[in-house]
Chain A
């Protein structure tokens, strides 16, 4: 049963620290999405990639967030420095690309910045 995996599942850190979240998309999928979910804002798209190339990261605060895909099996989302307002659940989703809009979500990383 192919699934998107994310690590860590939970992260507690102090303000100012660097946070790195990792995602392994479903093997063979060529689109990868990063979302942030909060009670107030719902699901927000931060960035997405196709064939490892960034297509859109306009939803991401550029001064502190960065997203990369060093290879086809790994996507990373980094926050440096982290702030309390970054506390949220971060989801990665991947899609097969053929039906390009179909997305399958990972279990998420719950981030708490103190």
Chain B
């Protein structure tokens, strides 16, 4: 089955700096890779996603890159702000299933002013 590994588990950055979170997946048939942001006491919120026919996608200060050959994808947050502090989860679709996702373990991001 699909296995998703996420690194680092914690990330501390200064406000204004960039943050990068990396995930690897095992199933070459996976074709959908969403990223979620979870703030304390709330449910995960979809912030960006990418499909396997695209190598990069950007939305304002966040971007995701996908390397299908190496089976890894990354989330990039530029010009970080204190409100970016949260837990971020990557996920990969599970092939031959209707919509199931395999989640990474999460990255706690702390942005210090």
- Do A and B share a complex? yes
Find chain A residues with CB under 8 A from B97 CB.
55-56
Q: How far is the CB of B77 from chain A (nearest CB, A)?
A: 20
Q: Judge whether A91 and B99 touch: CB under 8 Å.
A: no
Closest 7 pairs (CB-CB, A-B): A105-B43, A101-B32, A100-B99, A101-B93, A43-B103, A105-B44, A107-B43
Instruction: Provide the bound-state CA to CA distance between A105 and B91, in Å.
Output: 14
Q: Does B36 contact A (CB under 8 A)?
A: yes
Q: How far is the CB of B90 from chain A (nearest CB, A)?
A: 11
Q: How far is the CB of B100 from chain A (nearest CB, A)?
A: 6
Q: How far is the CB of A94 from chain B (nearest CB, A)?
A: 10
Q: Judge whether A31 and B99 touch: CB under 8 Å.
A: yes
Instruction: Provide the bound-state CA to CA distance between A50 and B34, in Å.
Output: 20
Extra contacts, 20 of them, besides A48-B99, A55-B97, A107-B43 (Cβ < 8 A), are A31-B98, A33-B99, A42-B105, A42-B106, A43-B89, A45-B100, A45-B101, A48-B100, A50-B98, A56-B97, A56-B100, A91-B43, A93-B43, A99-B32, A101-B99, A101-B100, A102-B49, A103-B99, A105-B43, A105-B44
Q: Does A95 contact B (CB under 8 A)?
A: yes
Q: How large is the interface on A (under 10, 10 to 19, 20 to 34, 35 or more residues)?
A: 20 to 34
| 12 sample A-B contacts, Cβ–Cβ < 8 Å, listed by A number | A42-B105, A42-B106, A45-B101, A48-B98, A48-B99, A56-B100, A91-B43, A102-B32, A102-B49, A103-B34, A105-B45, A108-B42
Q: How large is the interface on B (under 10, 10 to 19, 20 to 34, 35 or more residues)?
A: 10 to 19
Find chain A residues with CB under 8 A from B89 CB.
43
Q: Does A25 contact B (CB under 8 A)?
A: no
Instruction: Provide the bound-state CA to CA distance between A28 and B45, in Å.
Output: 19
Find chain B residues with CB under 8 A from A65 CB.
none
Q: Judge whether A101 and B101 touch: CB under 8 Å.
A: yes
Find chain A residues with CB under 8 A from B100 CB.
45, 48, 56, 101
Instruction: Provide the bound-state CA to CA distance between A40 and B32, in Å.
Output: 26
B63-113, CB < 8 A from A: 89, 93, 97-101, 103, 105-106
Q: How far is the CB of A28 from chain B (nearest CB, A)?
A: 15
